[in-house]
Structure 1
Amino acid sequence: MSSSTNPDNINPQPTSDGGSVAVGIVLGILAGIFVVLVLLSRLLCKNRGGGSPEDLEAGKRKRLASILKLDGVAPSRAYGNDQEKAEPEPKPPASCSFDDVIVCAICLDVLKDDDMVRRLPCQHYFHSSCLDTWYLRQHNTCPLCKTPFFDQSQKKEKKAVVMAESSSQAAGSQTI
């Protein structure tokens, strides 16, 4: 047997078949895609954070109007305020009190005498800033018991009036 017919003695010689060129092309394409994605993400992040001064001002006015509406049902005041103590103090629900202290169920911190708080119509207490944030995120119910902040019967009455007006206007336009 000759050494040329023995497969164990065959030493493959490197060939120039373009394999390294293909790897280079693939790496170049991947690098290009990466650069495009980085540029797009920077562009999108830049556009999200900014807005015209008018848009920012309109957003501030909307938030202020929402907080003023909340002030109508749960005004912000110091927890240890003498005026608050003069009112008949409701017994806090067991779900937010522990050993004669009341806890804000949003941040789980104990309410102190100098803390600004809001007492909802359901008699649950929360830090003003905690409840404001909760409310501004489109939550219109108590975080503990889910009681609506605002009287739902008023909304139903307004909706009925609007529907009655629109139906009478529609009937009036048909008689012409």
Structure 2
Amino acid sequence: MIARRESLADSNEGGTDPSGGQRGILIAVPFAFAAILVLIVIVTWVIPSCTKGKTQSDEQRQSARLEKLENAVKSELFMDWAKKAREKHPEGQYDKLLCVICLDELEDASQIRGLGCNHIFHQSCLDDWFGRYNEYCPLCHRPIIPGAVARTPRTRSDRGFERPLIAFVV
């Protein structure tokens, strides 16, 4: 029995000290906190500064689109538009018309944009609609800017014949 106790004492001297695991934790925890701190710095300062140029170019594209819309479809007062429309189409009803984007009634003092398809919308509503890269009228899906050809993604039939991805062998 004495020999057995001596062998247990010898095994503890061999480096399996129970406090040795605590030393590893004492070293690993500060490194983990430092890594978390570095990640926080990257997320809060480095990434936003890298994407800043991208948002400026998006804003430039947005303002260019709105300028293109203003040049193609002028804004005007609803009462002026309704007067012209009554002259062209006296049988039409121009009272209590709605902007289908916001569903509010168009008033005489409302700034509107009248499209070539004879649909009208609040200026701010159509500007927002067009600014979100919608190229077509929300009602009839004709192009908002007359004569503009919107880019459409190419389909498989546009590219010609393609080989099949999977071939069956019998």
Shift of 1:112: 2.8
Counterpart of 2:18 (choices 16, 19, 35) is 16
Counterpart of 1:35 (choices 25, 37, 41) is 37
**Does the alignment pair 1:77 with 2:73?**
no
Q: Write out aligned runs for 1:13-162 (5 A).
A: 16-41=18-43, 42-49=45-52, 60=60, 63-79=62-78, 81=79, 83-89=80-86, 100-105=96-101, 107-152=102-147, 155=149
Runs of at least 5 residues in structure 2 that lack an aligned partner in the other structure: 1-16, 151-170
Residues 43-89 of structure 1: CA deviation (Å, up to 9, x unaligned): 121333358xxx77xx65x555433432344211122x3x2122125
Distance (Å, rounded) in 2 between the aligned partners of 1:113 and 1:25? 74
TM-score by length of 1: 0.54
**What do you get for the CA RMSD once the two structures are aligned?**
3.5
Shift of 1:22: 3.1
Q: 1:49 to 1:32 in 2, by over 3 A?
A: same
Q: 1:35 to 1:71 in 2, by over 3 A?
A: same
SS at match of 2:85: coil
Residues 129-175 of structure 1: CA deviation (Å, up to 9, x unaligned): 222222233221123332212345x759xxxxxxxxxxxxxxxxxxx
Contact 1:63–1:136 (Cα < 8 Å) also in 2: yes
Distance (Å, rounded) in 2 between the aligned partners of 1:148 and 1:104? 17
TM-score by length of 2: 0.55
Distance (Å, rounded) in 1 between the aligned partners of 2:19 and 2:26? 13
**Equivalent position of 1:12 in the other structure:** none
Contact 2:72–2:146 (Cα < 8 Å) also in 1: no
Sequence identity of aligned pairs in percent?
26
Shift of 1:23: 3.1
Runs of at least 5 residues in structure 1 that lack an aligned partner in the other structure: 1-14, 93-98, 157-176
Shift of 1:104: 4.0
Please tell me the residue identity of whatever aligns with 2:26.
Answer: G
